[in-house]
Structure 1
Amino acid sequence: MAQGKITKRSVDAMQAGDRDAFLWDTDTRGFGVKITPAGKRVYLLQYRMGGRGATTRRYTIGSHGAWTPAAAEAEAKRLLMLVSQGKNPADDKRQRVREATDLTFDAVADRFETLEVPKRWVKSGGFVKDALRLHLRPKLGKRALPSITGQEIVALLDDLKGGPAMRRNVYAVAHRLFRWSQGRGEIDRNPLEGVEAPKPVASRDRVLSDNELRLVWIASDELPRAFCALVRLLLLTGQRRDEVAALEWQELDRDRGEWLLPSARAKNNREHLVPLSPQAVAELDALAGGEAWPRKGYVLTTDGGKSHVSGYSKAKRKLDGEIADLIEDDAAPVLPWRFHDLRRSVATGLQRLRIPSDWIEAIQNRRKAGVAGTYQRYAFADEKREALATWGGHVAGLLAVGDNVVPISAAK
């Protein structure tokens, strides 16, 4: 059995014969290099699991060239450490191969999206997938899940360009994915255990003034028709952005002037009747091209009803630019706002019009807490219709300033 220090020179000097030949290292026990009859040189480790009486095993480290002698010896020492701990290097190799395929972040995220997201996030699964696609996969996609540390996730969150709400939401998605994978036995521990979540975002209190609402309405006329209608329906109905954006014609009844939001689409899983003011009906007429509304398909669409609008951030930036252009040079700019602030602005505006709080809660489908939520089931259908008609009239009044009358709806 040939022995000697394994170096580049000694490996290059090995000669191929009619069968495999070996050179065993004199410093690292069990570390060797094999040369085949074809002249291929391969580094390997020979070891036993369980002492002298156990079967001798060989583990292939890799080919000469892909591995240097020094790197191969370092790997042999690492494997010998595993052997001393009672761990089989072959099992370690299988685990490393699995980590490079089945346990990459991308692979686990694919399973997470298929198996867990539809069950846990029935209505907001799109956000979870966006958080993975836009923020987590680009940085972690090829990494083996067991190798990812909490410090890496914290650094990733610190680098996010969004605000505190974005960081907290991405943290929540990552934490849930790691916890889910741990529960399936894919990783030993969640790297975010003990890592403090980003602080909750303070409750927003932005309410747009009547003049700001007027500017929003006028500026929306410069958006593509579907996004213009989205903005105006949010302003007229006070409903949630995603519920309005995914509105379908089959949910609407023009003769009755009603929108029936199904429980499957409502945030609180409760069917919700939204009376339509004349102003809301006018917007829908403009989308339908007349009073005969389609019977199916998405209302706010750019592809003939096959899918509903998205890309809200791009539309909002366009809207903000149009609003800025409407403001006089010596006037104060409109402070930052979000689409959800329209919902709060509608509720506040209804309060100013002396609409009772119970009516407003019913309009916005907010569930009462405690005993009241359990036993008070009155739907306030007539009251909601009266309140939204009053609000629609108020909005129409905002658009008539002096001789400058802005039409409620215009064909685009």
Structure 2
Amino acid sequence: MPRIALSDRTLKTLTPPTSGQTTYWDEGLGNFGVRISQGGAKSFVVVYGPNRTRKTLGRYPIISLKQAREKAKELLAEVTLGIDKQRSISWKQARERFLLDCERKNKRNTVAYYRKRLDTHFKFGQRNLSDISKQDVLQRIRRIKTSASEQHHAFVAARTIFNWAIREDLLASSPLNGVRGFKPAQARERVLNDNELLAVWTEATQAPYPYGAIVMVLILTGLRRNEAAQLEWTFINETAEAITIPAHITKNGRVHTIPLGKTLLQVISDLPRINRFLFPSAHEKGTVFNGWGKSKARLDSTLENVEPYTLHDLRRTFATTHAKIGTPVHVTEKLLNHVSGTISGVAAIYNRHTYLEEMKVAATAYEEYLKCLFDS
């Protein structure tokens, strides 16, 4: 390994390697150096402890040579004095503690959101939490090819666990400090036209259970897919002609009651009763359907003259169709369980009317519109 007298002047003259990375170690401070990549990026590093743990201190010139050297001295001193707290916990241990903490403070869907991204994209195992560098995290995010939206969600999950670790005194700083993040997907405006909606409905009626039935429920109710997937038989009240979804399932944490129209009732009545869920998982007893990707791809492969769409686009189509048939905006918002909108502020505090009867009228008109569409 090359050793040089690191200075601001030598940092500017270092030549990138033709491939991979090269580390130049400082003659003045042992175990401290600068790593330069093939692309020319320069990052300060320090090696410490009996296990020769390598830690990235920051990228030059965002962090200066003087700052990096002082930071390296502090770290080496802490190790010498035996107060290096960060070396005592692995990524796996931190992940477990983080998720347990989330379960005490957050909704089940939020915990599932973090668990999915951490387990799918950040498999650091027993690596020390403090040894995970910014490039370690960013490289894994850049490998995600499914969508820009998923890159954004992965970044949010990583940033959240590192910020949590700082609050828990498990890290001195986050490796993602100064990272702008990944641009979230732009809000979609996709609405299926009547012909496309008819095509999706027709194929859904022929698709295997439970996915086909879920798609029909989404078209009829405007529910979010995870809300529909977690429906239980006890939520259904045929006498009241309504389905009541508990707060712990809905996205906004509010109880949501929707009308049980004739078409919706027929779809539900045709479902097999396997367990407490309308749409249970075929693989794990006691859990709900989660085979979205393959099931949607299978159904979509049978569609003709339908532009690419997401299941959430069915919710937007639901709202747009209600506007088309004249449903008042505040009733549509009730059907969608939107908190903000036309009834907000003081009015929202004092207006406790459920609008269930108005919602039933709107649901009937909506199902009649669909019936005419599907029977044409």
Q: Deviations over 1:297-354 (max 9, x none)?
A: 011124598322112112111111121xxx2xxxxx3221111111110000011111
* 2:258 alignment partner, SS class: strand
Cα distance in 2 for residues equivalent to 1:247 and 1:236: 14
Contact 1:220 1:231 (8 Å CA) reproduced: yes
* 1:277 shift after superposition: 1.1
Aligned partners of 1:300 and 1:255: how far apart in 2?
22
Q: What is the TM-score when the length of structure 2 is the normalising length?
A: 0.74
Q: Which runs of 5+ in 2 are unaligned?
A: 1-48, 52-71
Where in structure 2 are the equivalents of 1:171-190 lying within 5 Å? 171-190=155-174
TM-score by length of 1: 0.68
Which residue pairs with 2:277 in the alignment? 298
Give the aligned residue type for 2:94: V
Number of aligned positions between the proteins: 304
SS of 1:306's equivalent?
coil
Amino acid at match of 2:163: R
CA contact 2:224–2:312 (8 Å) conserved in 1 = yes
Aligned to 2:315, which of 332, 343, 363? Answer: 343
**More deviation, 347-356/248-257:** 248-257
Do the aligned partners of 1:117 and 1:128 also contact (CA within 8 Å) in 2?
no
- Aligned amino acid, residue 91 of structure 2: F
Counting only pairs closer than 5 Å after superposition, residues 263-274 of structure 1 correspond to structure 2 as 263-274=247-258
Structure-2 separation of matches of 1:266 and 1:301? 18
Query: 1:364 is aligned with what amino acid?
Result: L
RMSD between superposed Cα atoms in Å:
2.6
- 5 Å matches for 1:348-387? 348-368=320-340, 369-387=344-362
SS across alignment from 1:202: coil
Question: Contact 1:249 / 1:297 at 8 angstroms: preserved in 2?
Answer: yes
Q: Amino acid of the residue matched to residue 246 of structure 1? A: Q
Q: Tell me how far 1:363 sits from its aligned partner.
A: 0.7
Larger radius of gyration between Structure 1 and Structure 2: 1
Residue 95 of structure 2 is aligned to residue 109 of structure 1: yes
Shift in Å, 1:83: 11
Distance 1:91 1:205, change over 3 A: same
Counterpart Cα distance in 2 of 1:297 and 1:187: 43
Which letter maps to 1:371?
Answer: V
1:393 aligns with 2:339: no
Q: Among the aligned pairs, what percent are the same residue?
A: 25
Given the alignment of the two structures, is residue 191 of structure 1 paired with residue 175 of structure 2, yes or no? Answer: yes
Residue 397 of structure 1, CA deviation: 1.8
**Secondary structure at the residue paired with 2:347?**
helix
> CA 1:133–1:83 in 2, change beyond 3 Å: closer, same or farther?
closer
1:206 matched to which residue of 2?
190
Q: Distance in 1 between matches of 2:351 and 2:323?
A: 22
Q: Which amino acid in the other structure matches residue 328 of structure 2?
A: P
Q: Which letter does structure 1 place at the counterpart of 2:337?
A: N
Decide which moves more: 238-247 or 106-115.
Answer: 106-115
Task: Give the CA deviation at 1:200.
Answer: 3.1
CA deviations on 1:256-296 (whole Å, 9 max, x unpaired) are 3210111222222221211011110001110047xxxx9x7
The 3 A distance-change label for structure 1 pair 305 and 363 is: farther
Q: Would you say 1:314 and 2:294 are equivalent positions?
A: yes
